[in-house]
Structure 1
Amino acid sequence: MAAPQHQEAPGGFLDHSAPWTEQDWLALPESPNVELVDGVLVMSPRASNPHQRLLLRIGAALDAAAPTSLSVLPEPNVRLTVDRLVIPDVAVIADLDRHAVVNDAGDVVLVVEIVSPGNAAHDRVLKPHLYAEAGIRWYLRVEQEGPAGHLHELVDGAYREVARGPVVEIAEPFTARLDLPHLAR
C-alpha cells in the first residue's frame, strides 16, 4: 500500500505569508472549521457530539417557528465585512440567495453560538463583538453547562442581554421557545 500523499491547499496553505483574503479563503478545500478574521485564518476542531446534537435541535426548533420568509441554516458562511467571514453554529437569514456560498451579514437576523471548551473566548468575546460591528440584531449564546441561553439584542452598537436561562423565549424576529435542557437530551 502506498504512503499517503501530503497535499497543499490551493495557493500553498502552509506557505501562505500574506494576509488571507476572501478569495484565498474561498479557494480552500471545504471545511466548516476555518473562519477568516481580518486576514487571519481561525481554525477550530470539530465540535463534540453533544454540541452537534444541540446545534441540530436548536436549528430544527428555530426552523419550525420561523416564518417562511426566513431561512434557518446550520453552520453557514457569513461575510461580516471584507476579509471577515465567520461560521456561526446556526443563523436565521432573510432574503436567502439559495445559490450563494457566502451570506451577507445584512441578511442575517439572528446568530446562535454554542460555547465549547475549545472556543469559549471566541464565542463569548470575539464573535459577539464582530457580530455587533456587522449590525446583526440578535445574538444567542448557548452555554452547554446547564444548558443555558443568553439572548442579546443589538442596541446602540452593543449587545444587551434581554433573556437568560435554561428556557429562552424569543419574541423577535419571530416567536420561539427554546427549552435547552430538553433539546440537549
Structure 2
Amino acid sequence: MAAPTEPDSGLSIPPHPDGWTVDEVLALPEDQTSLQRIELVDGALLVSPAPTSVHQRLLQKLQFAFVPALPEDTELLPGVNVRFGGQRLLIPDLVILTCTAVDTVAFAASDVLLAAEIVSPSTKVQDRILKRAIYAEALIPFYLLVEPGEPDTATLFELQRGEYEPIAKSEAGQLHLTRPFEAEITLA
C-alpha cells in the first residue's frame, strides 16, 4: 500500500508530489514509523505493517541455520535498509552481506550476497514479483523466498544471465543449500 496511510495509524507522512528520495525516507522520525516498514520504489512509498509472530519465528529459524554456516568474510543481518540508487530503498527480511562490521543506516545493494524475503499477506506481490525483480536488476547473486504455510516452503534462486533461476527447494520442511555456501535449514 502506498502512503499516506489510514488517518488513525499514527503515521503522519507529508505528501511528496515529485516523489520521495532515499535520504528523505531515512530522515523520517523513528517514533512515527516504528510500527511499519517503509520502503521506497521509484519515489513511491511502500508501507506495510510490522511482521507477525509467525513471520518472526521463521526469520529466527533462518538466522539460527545460517549463522554457523556463514563464510568468515560475510555477515548476516535481519531487517536492514538496502539502498538501490536514490529512489529505491528496500528492507529485506534478512541479508547476507559481503562487508562485515560496517556501521551504516543503509547498505548498498552491491554489498548483498543474499537477500531473503518471508512472504506476508500484505507483501506477497512485492516479495514474489517486485522485490525479486529489483534484486535481480541490482545483481544480487542469491534470493531466498520463504512461503509460510502447511508446510512452510523455501526456494533459493541464483542470478543467471540477469534472471533468478531456482537452484534449491525445500522438501519435507528441509532446505539444503550448496551455494552460496553449505547450509541446512529446517523450516518445520
Same fold (TM > 0.5): yes
Unaligned runs of 5+ in 1: 1-5
Distance 1:163 1:123 in 2: 18
- Does structure 2 retain, via aligned residues, the 8 Å contact 1:168–1:179? yes
Q: Does 1:19 align with 2:24?
A: no
- Does structure 2 retain, via aligned residues, the 8 Å contact 1:35–1:43? yes
- Give the CA deviation at 1:47: 1.2
- Does structure 2 retain, via aligned residues, the 8 Å contact 1:96–1:107? no
Residues 80 and 72 from structure 1, CA distance in 2 versus in 1: closer, same or farther, beyond 3 angstroms? same
Q: Does 1:153 align with 2:158?
A: yes
TM-score normalised to the size of structure 1? Answer: 0.87
Higher mean alpha-carbon deviation, 94-103 vs 46-55, is at: 94-103
Give the secondary structure class of the aligned counterpart of 2:49: coil
Distance 1:178 1:147 in 2: 11
Distance 1:117 1:17 in 2: 28
- Give the CA deviation at 1:7: 8.4
Q: What do residues 42-89 of structure 1 show as CA deviations (whole Å, max 9, x unaligned)?
A: 011111111011112212221121022110000011112221110000
Residues 22 and 169 from structure 1, CA distance in 2 versus in 1: closer, same or farther, beyond 3 angstroms? same
- Does structure 2 retain, via aligned residues, the 8 Å contact 1:56–1:74? no
The one-letter amino acid of 2:183's match is A
Unaligned runs of 5+ in 2: 1-8
Q: Indicate the residue corresponding to 1:3 in structure 2.
A: none
Match 2:175 to one of 165, 168, 172: 168
Q: Indicate the residue corresponding to 1:142 in structure 2.
A: 146
Match 1:116 to one of 120, 129, 134: 120
- Does structure 1 retain, via aligned residues, the 8 Å contact 2:146–2:153? yes
Distance 2:102 2:92 in 1: 18
Q: Indicate the residue corresponding to 1:77 in structure 2.
A: 81
The ranges of structure 1 where at least 4 consecutive aligned residues each deviate by more than 3 angstroms after the TM superposition are 6-9
The one-letter amino acid of 1:55's match is L
Q: Indicate the residue corresponding to 1:132 in structure 2.
A: 136
The one-letter amino acid of 1:17's match is P
- Give the CA deviation at 1:96: 3.0
> Considering only CA atoms, is the larger Rg found in Structure 1 or Structure 2?
1
Q: Indicate the residue corresponding to 2:3 in structure 1.
A: none
Distance 2:156 2:48 in 1: 23
- Does structure 2 retain, via aligned residues, the 8 Å contact 1:58–1:178? yes
User: Percent of aligned pairs with the same residue?
Assistant: 39
